[in-house]
Structure 1
Amino acid sequence: MERTLSVLAAYIQPSPYGAEGVSLNHGLHFTGGEPFLNVDLLLKGIELARKFGIPSLFVETNAFWCRDDDDTRSTMRQLKDAGLQGMLVSVNPFILETVPFERTFRAIQIGSEIFDQKLMVYQTDYFMQFSRLGITDRLPLQEYVSRVGLEEATSRIELLPIGRTAYTLGEWYQHYPATTFFRGTCRAELQRNYHNHWDNYGNILPGFCAGIALGNVLEQPRIYEEGLDLEVYPILRILLDTGVRGLCAYAQKRFGYQEREAGYISQCHLCLDIRTHIVRQAQEFRELRPVEFYTQLGRDVPADQD
């Protein structure tokens, strides 16, 4: 972690509210997974970030650890004293399945006391809805959908049809043939200059494109000056030049990929399905990292053939 943060420190931009302020798409936030599964490691990360002068530092959490007022307040004060400038509490029906809402409420209430306006909630609509429904404990996803209706559950929030969602909640969406998404490239998604991620292995993860690495800051510390040789990253080159249309053709020719008869809910679903098929057969591509992402995803992805 120290090597990664030391490299990134020169490139992380502060919040528009200043280096001591926080905002969703600026500065550095520790996320996961769940950072509070290892508070000592989180504290180490905060100390290192402050050592390297990284601005606008906050942490994202699902609040599972906020079991009582005193411990919650003590932990938050400890983090703030170490240099943490803000906190983001995640609220959605998927977290509600495993984390009692009273813990989420506590995190927001005490977090506002400790961090003031630097306590952020994502997503506020869900927080307000759960409060109106009088929820205090956990609530299974299907029960939540039954209570509010599918349209209400999905219409006002940012539920991206990507990653595991494409497989585990696919019935929520209309499916389309692959050719529906054979338009344009993935250049904008891969070259976005805000809210990108770096994992514990040094991989640079563009935006929401999980399982794609734009190189590795540990293997190439000057990557932001030197750039990438796309000859070494052929799948990146395909996505930048011809998008999922080109990736589909490449996977069909080299790896025998076949389109799913059931179709796909989004361009990202198609891309992910192709990449998963490729990794199942070959792990030679440096841009399809971390491999562990595909291993874990494999539990939700159906067999290649319908």
Structure 2
Amino acid sequence: MEKFVENLKIERLFSGGVITNYYCSSACKHCLYNSSPSWKKEYMTEEMADKLFKTLRKFGVYSVHIGGGEPFLNFEGLKKVINRANENRIYIEYIETNASWVENEDEVKRRLKELKNLGIETILVSISPFHNEYIPFKKVLKLINLLKEVGIEIFPWVEGFLPEIKRFDIEKTHPFSEYIDTFGENYVKSLPLRYYLTLNGRAIKTFEEFFPKKSIEEILENSSPCHELNSKTHFHMDLFGNFIPNPCVGFKISIDDLGKDLDCKKYFFVNMLYTKGIHELFRFAQENFGYEAKKGYLLKCSLCFDIRRFLVLEKNVEAFDFGPREFYEQY
């Protein structure tokens, strides 16, 4: 394999989140991490949480958010993660939830009070057509009311969707197609900007039929080294001890390797893209594995994902810097 000269080295971080689990109560069409109920029911251990929070402090990060998957699917595990954050003096900015777990009001209030006692001040409540496909809006409203009762701040993401969601029966779920039928294709085209979406992960499949595609020639001609891999903001660290640059989902860098020049063999594909870009990954997959591109893609990240998915699922390429494998399977 070819050796690259200027390997990636991640030396400083600014803001990010912790993924406690990838399994989820829904399989939303916008999900960056391809979360779904089909993932293995694995959750971050106390030992891994301690290691992550110590790493965050080492790299100058003193506050993070907690997300998933759905973090509340293992409430005892969530509390253990928060306790480790507190021990390491890492402030939890907010915890994300889709409210799918909201059933008995007394039980929900008990959980919220426990979180408040652990220092949690804010909960991000997901509000969108994507979530409404799996979660009746009644649950979301119930959670919002109980958060107010308990005295925890609400971060509604995104509050602007309330008018259209409330046009439907709040007791039921509503498929994405129902929103399209009701509001039209232009409504769908507005969603990425309204939700501040990164068009990666499952969002690629959802939106590629609504937006014009770029030809493979245009993408390759305009490609440059993928310095997004060195993103220091809105990164994530997951339950397996992986650092995931924003927006480069499906790549993983061990938190043990942060601050080092990434080894060219261990991180063959990361360094390939960081130093040479998507055209080099395309050439590699085409010449070594017979990869055939589609006619067009939303953007270079769509092409990158398609190549990696081909290598992982069809050619069973085992690369340290690709994964988790389920990310590619749950698309």
| One-letter identity of the residue aligned with 1:290 | P
Aligned residue for 1:209, secondary structure, equals: coil
Shift of 1:124: 2.1
Shift of 1:288: 0.4
Q: Answer 1 or 2: which has greater strand percent.
A: 2
Match of 1:259 among 266, 286, 293: 293
1:275 aligns with 2:308: yes
Residues 139 and 85 of structure 1, relative CA distance in 2, 3 Å threshold: same
Which residue of 2 is the match for residue 174 of structure 1? Answer: 212
- Superposed, 1:82-93 pairs within 5 Å as 82-93=118-129
Residues 143 and 251 of structure 1, relative CA distance in 2, 3 Å threshold: same
- TM-score when normalising by structure 2: 0.76
Match of 2:227 among 163, 174, 188: 188
Equivalent residues of 2:198, 2:247 under 8 A apart: no
| One-letter identity of the residue aligned with 1:100 | P
| One-letter identity of the residue aligned with 1:209 | C
Provide the aligned C-alpha RMSD in A.
2.3
| One-letter identity of the residue aligned with 2:248 | C
Shift of 1:251: 0.8
- Superposed, 1:1-306 pairs within 5 Å as 1-12=45-56, 27-116=63-152, 118-131=153-166, 133=167, 135-136=169-170, 137-155=172-190, 156-182=194-220, 183-185=222-224, 187-213=226-252, 215-217=253-255, 220=256, 223-261=257-295, 263-280=296-313, 281-297=315-331
Unaligned runs of 5+ in 1: 14-24, 298-306
Equivalent residues of 1:197, 1:206 under 8 A apart: yes
Equivalent residues of 1:86, 1:115 under 8 A apart: no
Q: Distance in 2 between matches of 1:208 and 1:154?
A: 20
Residues 2 and 283 of structure 1, relative CA distance in 2, 3 Å threshold: farther
Aligned residue for 2:91, secondary structure, equals: coil
Shift of 1:63: 0.6
Residues 276 and 134 of structure 1, relative CA distance in 2, 3 Å threshold: closer
Q: Percent identity?
A: 29
Give deviations 1:225-267, integer Å, cap 9, x for gaps.
3342234312111211222111111111111111113x21221
Aligned residue for 1:33, secondary structure, equals: coil
Which residue of 2 is the match for residue 304 of structure 1? Answer: none
Aligned residue for 1:276, secondary structure, equals: helix
Q: Distance in 1 between matches of 2:224 and 2:128?
A: 31
Residues 157 and 6 of structure 1, relative CA distance in 2, 3 Å threshold: closer
Aligned residue for 2:156, secondary structure, equals: strand
Greater RCO, 1 or 2 (C-alpha within 8 Å, sep 6+): 2
Q: Distance in 2 between matches of 1:63 and 1:180?
A: 42
Q: Distance in 1 between matches of 2:286 and 2:298?
A: 20
Aligned residue for 1:179, secondary structure, equals: helix
Q: Distance in 1 between matches of 2:180 and 2:196?
A: 16
Q: What is the number of residues matched between the two proteins?
A: 278
